[in-house]
Amino acid sequence: MAVFKMPSLGADMEAGKLVEWLVKPGDPVKHGDIVAVVETQKGAIEIEIFEDGVVEKLLAELGQSLPVGAPLAVIRAAGQVVTEAPEAPPSETPRADVEATAPVAKTEPSTVPPSPAPTGIAASPAAKARAAELGIALQSLTGSGPDGAIVLADVDAAKPAAPPSAKPERGAYLAEMRKAIAAAMTRSKREIPHYYVTHTVDLSAATDWLNAANAARPPEERILMGALLMKAVALAAREEKAVNGHFGEEGFTPSKAIHLGLAIALRGGGLVAPAILDADRLSLHALMEAMRDLTTRARAGRLKSSEMSMATLTFSALGESGVEAMAGIIVPPQVAIVTAGAPGPQPLVRDGEVVAAQAVTLTLAADHRVSDGRLGSKFLIAIDAKLQIPEEL
């Protein structure tokens, strides 16, 4: 038996509200399956499971606010025979950085509250309840859940536009997100000794190659400069391993995988930085598709728990418009973040002459407990070198 627990979905998360179960006792699950939806200050997050087995018991009820590490369900290993109902695991002690009064998961056998009367349509209990609340006919919806089942997000997507009176609720939601971001960044600046190095990269070769590569592509398939920058960052992180990993109680643990977090501005305010897994192994086309997909789902509140918890290094860019440079704040437990100002014409020296060339200013913020300015400089120079040979990215 294994206990499936509330995962940490970022340095700014202390607890999450369970809003939907996508499995029930007796259901088989495998690594990567989405089994629940949790609501945090940054929206609804789809929770994945990382082991194979069968759901033995659900320990958390819908609507509960649960701290990181609270037990959610009991998972029985595939093939394991249970002769009697297992006892619920003892209530866990919340993390040190969570207030002792934070609610914990109930361990009584109670699971999901009774669902509305059967409709003959595959839908989760939460989806049925929400549809009844909103007066939406389930048969009018298309399900996106397992085997085409209707889930909570499908019902929410079909609900009528909120009346003007709902605007304060959105404002309150953004205020909570800002509060969470402020707490995480305050912790980062307090606990991590940041240092900064900056370097301006000539993008002439990258721009020329990108224009040629995009010439025959339709607009929706074109590669943006941001994809080249991200790929160069990911490849350079292979060489300078001290910028890629996590710092914990036992010090720095470098990561063999490069899961590059992408800072995404949400509509109306707020910021998330979910990860593109194995970014260094993706082609530019695949990386661009991953960036588009991640941005779309982030703004729709459909991110996965692995994307919110597995980043080993973060990249943030201002896009095509904005100021020349910016400096980031490291996202714990990561040890570095690379930020890019807006690409544009800048005065550069070539062969002793000043010329106007397309360029971008990169800034590295890194953890001085793990690396120093010399290594940070080597990392930015490695990014520069890769951008001068864009056809090899």
Helical spans, DSSP H, in 57-115 = none
Specify the pTM. 0.72
Give pLDDT tens digits for 294-341: 999 988 878 899 899 899 999 999 887 779 999 999 999 999 999 999
pLDDT digits (tens, 9 = 90+) for 303-316: 899 899 899 999 99
Identify the bridge partners of residue 58 per DSSP, sorted by sequence position.
73
Q: What is the dihedral angle through the alpha carbons of 137, 142, 145, 150, rounded to the nearest 10 degrees?
A: 10
What does the pLDDT read at residue 181? 81
Other beta carbons less than 10 A from residue 326's beta carbon: 15
228 vs 166: which has the higher pLDDT: 228
| 109 preceded by a cis bond (ω within 30 of 0) | no
2-113, CATH topology level = OB fold (Dihydrolipoamide Acetyltransferase, E2P) (2.40.50)
Q: Is the pLDDT of residue 131 over 70?
A: yes
The residue ranges of every structural domain in the chain are: 2-113, 116-160, 192-392
Work out the widest C-alpha separation in the chain, in whole angstroms.
82
Q: Which long-range contacts (CB under 8 A, 24 or more apart) does 82-88 make?
A: 82/56, 85/57, 85/109, 86/1, 86/56, 86/57, 88/57, 88/59
Q: What confidence tens digit (pLDDT) does each residue in 73-103 have?
A: 999 987 776 655 444 444 444 444 433 333 4
- 3-class SS shares of the chain: helix, strand, coil, % to 5: 30, 25, 40
At residue 93, the pLDDT reads: 42
**Domain spanning 116-160: which superfamily?**
E3-binding domain (4.10.320.10)
**192-392 in CATH: which number?**
3.30.559.10
The chain-wide mean pLDDT, for the chain, equals 85
Q: Encode pLDDT of 344-368 as tens digits.
A: 999 999 889 999 999 999 999 999 9
